[in-house]
A and B are shown apart, each in its own frame.
Chain A
Amino acid sequence: DADVTQTPRNRITKTGKRIMLECSQTKGHDRMYWYRQDPGLGLRLIYYSFDVKDINKGEISDGYSVSRQAQAKFSLSLESAIPNQTALYFCATSEGRDEQYFGPGTRLTVT
């Protein structure tokens, strides 16, 4: 079984809909992250959490919210999706010095 799982893997939704992307990890790591990647570009950090009670905004948090339900679960929500949020979303986890483990990604399309 994969250490970091993301659901759904693909999602198509309409403008204005609320969407939740979920991430679970079995590595026992304290830290979890959500990134967004647009075609041909690098990853941009949306939110990150250093433990269940410590959640921080990243570079591009506007339009997104997160919930750290447990150490192993970190969800990303788009309260009212818009087309320019169409992207590939990655969840990652880490423990200690910087080595992050990434999930398989969620491809989100907002029409």
Chain B
Amino acid sequence: LAKTTQPISMDSYEGQEVNITCSHNNIATNDYITWYQQFPSQGPRFIIQGYKTKVTNEVASLFIPADRKSSTLSLPRVSLSDTAVYYCLVGVDTGRRALTFGSGTRLQVQP
């Protein structure tokens, strides 16, 4: 399984764009990159998934360079409600493997 490295924490202010980068140097050819968001005492919630280049949905964008050894989750114009932990997962949920969550990045958005 590809090991991921994320910053432990980040701080931002309301209205700013936040970019959280995840390193995954040994990503395999078939691996996808998936991001989850978790609020305190709640289960994680899927945000976005991608394989290469750029993916955008109503919540976030995911940028993946050509070598796929890293990825960046971009949250446009964050609000206080975006304060949460963000997890980057890399792998493909097939065969007898399941993905594992790391420690995530704790994002604190201030007024």
Cα A33 to Cα B93 in complex, Å, equals 12
How many residues of A are counted as interface, with CB atoms below 8 angstroms from the partner's CB atoms? 30
Instruction: Check A56 for interface membership: any CB of B closer than 8 A.
Output: yes
Q: When the two chains form their complex, are residues A42 and B34 in contact, meaning their CB atoms are under 8 A apart?
A: no
For chain A, residues 36 to 57, give those with C-beta under 8 angstroms from any C-beta of chain B.
41-45, 48, 50, 54, 56
When A and B form their complex, what is the total count of cross-chain residue pairs whose Cβ atoms lie within 8 Å?
A: 64
Counting chain A CB atoms within 10 Å of each CB, which of B44, B91, B98 scores highest? B98
B100 touches A31 (CB 8 A): no
- Identify A103's interface contact among B32, B43, B93, CB under 8 A: B43
Residues of B within 8 A of A31 (CB): 93, 98
Q: Are B45 and A102 in contact (CB under 8 A)?
A: yes
- Which residues in B have their C-beta under 8 angstroms from that of A35? 101
Q: In the bound complex, what is the Cα–Cα distance between A100 and B100 (angstroms)?
A: 12
Closest-CB distance, A33 to chain B (whole angstroms): 7
Contact residue range for chain B? 20 to 34
In contact, B98 and A102 (Cβ under 8 angstroms): no
Interface SS of chain A: strand
By a CB distance below 8 angstroms, the chain A residues around B101 are 35, 42-45
Q: Does B43 contact A99, Cβ atoms closer than 8 Å?
A: no
Residue A1 is within 8 A (CB to CB) of chain B in the complex = no
Q: Which residue of B lies closest to A95 (CB)?
A: B93
CA–CA, A49 to B41, complex, Å?
Answer: 24
Query: Which residues of the partner chain B approach A48 to less than 8 Å between Cβ atoms?
Result: 98
Return the CB mask of B79-91 against A: 1 if under 8 Å, else 0.
Answer: 0000001010101
Binding site for A on B (CB under 8 A): 32, 34, 36, 41-46, 49, 85, 87, 89, 91-93, 96, 98-104
- Selected A-B contacts with CB under 8 Å, 14 pairs: A42-B102, A45-B100, A54-B96, A96-B93, A97-B49, A98-B32, A98-B92, A99-B34, A99-B46, A100-B44, A102-B44, A103-B43, A104-B42, A105-B41
* New A-B pairs, 8, CB < 8 Å, besides A31-B98, A58-B100: A4-B43, A33-B98, A35-B101, A41-B103, A94-B93, A96-B93, A98-B49, A104-B43
